[in-house]
Amino acid sequence: MSTAERFFAKCPNQRSESSRHFALSEKSAAKHKSARSMCIISGFLKSERLMATSMVATKYIVGNWKLHGSTQENAVRLAALKAGCRHGDALAVCVPFPYLAQAQQALQGSAIGWGAQNVSEQAKGAFTGEVSAAMLADFGCSCAIVGHSERRALYGEDDATVARKAQAVAEAGMTPIVCVGETLAERKCGEMVQVVTRQLAAVLAHVSAETKQRLVIAYEPVWAIGTGLAASEDDVREVHALLRGQLEKAGVTGTRLLYGGSVKASNAGALLNTANVDGALVGGASLDAEEFLKIAQAARA
């Protein structure tokens, strides 16, 4: 089984296995280490190594290509990523819908997974232009981004819609990467805490218990997306601690928290070493294979 297959595999018994981890003594843990290694990552789900920030060894780096690409550009970029990716890296790229087949063909069997940038909350029916979670799964997707600020701002997606999309992704056996984040105006007005906790609370209130265990949360301050102004380490530490506390209060432990917002090679090291940061959701920098691989390198440090 390749690194990517282990990383993005479906693991229906993940939660029960994770619970047993805490009861293992050091001697017992060593005995079970070999068996656990076959399910280290499993598609951004909770594995035994992912149940607490202090135990996390692998940072997830997810590229969001947004509305960019062509078959020719993609071929060059995907080949470069595949060639430069190292064994044990935890990488994925979320590509535009038309290029899912190309990503699947190029990356299958590699250490890089692929996913989508959006999904319909509908399973099937007369919904022209929509793409269901089951359709994404047909292309081998392991994850899908939901609730990105651009979807919320430009296409009117509200918290309830984001929650339904997250549930649809999880029901199709994939991992929902749920984005939360405040605008600059909201931050200046002192509403950051209210906004991000409301966005997360809406998801936690509407998804199933099983889906809660599959969630990955990406904090993307809207004012830092595509502006070149990354949040400071203190900003990120504050919000991620807030989200971690909210999740644990809801009984959800081990959730991966990603930071997104002008992540690049020059700041990735500091951001990825901030408390409660388990990876990064990378926008513009993911379009440059060399830059993206440098971020992956920073994640290994």
CA distance 103 to 113: 9
291 is catalytic: no
Looking at 48, 121, 220, 291, which residue is catalytic?
A: 220
Coil, helix or strand for 212?
Answer: helix
148 is catalytic: yes
Looking at 21, 48, 121, 148, which residue is catalytic?
A: 148
| CB-CB contact of 258 with 271 (8 Å) | no
Q: Which tokens sit at 24?
A: 């293992």
Q: Which tokens sit at 160?
A: 């309830």
The string of DSSP codes covering 175-206 is EEEEEE---HHHHHTT-HHHHHHHHHHHHHHH
CA distance 229 to 224: 5
Map tokens 């600020």 to a residue: 149
Minimal CA–CA distance to 95: which of 60, 127, 67, 134? 67
Catalytic residues: 148, 220
